[in-house]
Amino acid sequence: MKFKTTPYHFDLLKDSDRLAAFYQAIKDNDTNADLAFDLGCGSGVLSYFLSEYFKEITAVEVDRSTFNCAKENLSDFKNVNVVNSDVLEYDFDRKADLIVCEMMDTALIDEEEVPILNHAKKYLKEDGKIIPQGVINSAELVFMEREYLHWDENAKYEVISRPVIYSQFDFLDDINPEFDAEIEFKAAKSARINGIKITTFTKLNDNLIAGPTPMFNPPLMVPVKETNVKANDLIIVKLKYIMGNGIESIETDIL
């Protein structure tokens, strides 16, 4: 099927690993269920996947131009209703068997996955499911060439510690978007550090975990105060951010 897209969503559609992970998670879900919500549906490709397995899909997209693409792409599917609305303002009149929400980004910082799901879970059946199911966040000490906040695409850096899993979230739980943690690293060698690398792994379901892909949660390089460390030193980094409030909310400190 040929999809009409915005330039951004065209790049998303080219990310075959991302699409394959979501397709498999949808396929693994119980078939022949009644109702699914696709929140932040973009060009509509996930609703297209859902249309084979659900009697009815409500696809919600706030951006008008993106909504128009989805509306056109899904016009032949009688079981898909595409709505131009902010999820937080949409009047859901029924509860769904499944919520699909791919408002994802590294550590859930820049996109609205957490506030959207905290709201939308009120409209999920008691035994309902969410795709993705949750995330696992890890961090490593690094010395990076670019001494500012950036994603790791084509960036040069040296890893100074083993990765540390610093948070895990299940989207069926209510999540406090104000994140605050102290992460303890052990330096693998004597070196300088000036950042941490955050990597997010997405749990699509109990059996499927997706790592970063070109258009899906690329690792984020976060500056910290430049410090000299010795092999086996323990370094504690305080990390704060507000999920859904953007990367500008990130704060770090070496304790």
Whether pTM > 0.85 for this model: the answer is yes
Q: What is the DSSP letter of 17?
A: H
Segment 193-232, tens digit of pLDDT: 999 999 999 999 999 999 898 778 999 999 999 999 999 9
Which tens digit of pLDDT belongs to each residue from 16-40? 898 999 999 999 986 678 999 999 9
Mean pLDDT of the chain: 94
Q: Which CATH class is domain 135-254?
A: mainly beta
CATH fold for domain 7-102: Rossmann fold (3.40.50)
Residue 2 has pLDDT above 80, yes or no: no
Rounded-to-10 torsion of CA 25, 27, 33, 34: 80
Across residues 121-141, what is the average pLDDT? 96
Q: Of 219, 77, 241, 101, which is closest to residue 157 (Cα–Cα)?
A: 219
Q: What secondary structure letter does DSSP report for 161?
A: B
What integer pLDDT is reported at residue 31 of this predicted model? 64
**Sequence spans of domains, the chain:** 7-102, 135-254
Q: How many CA atoms lie within 13 A of 218 on its CB side?
A: 12
- Convert the pLDDT of each residue in 138-186 to its tens digit: 999 999 999 999 998 888 999 999 999 999 999 999 999 999 999 999 9
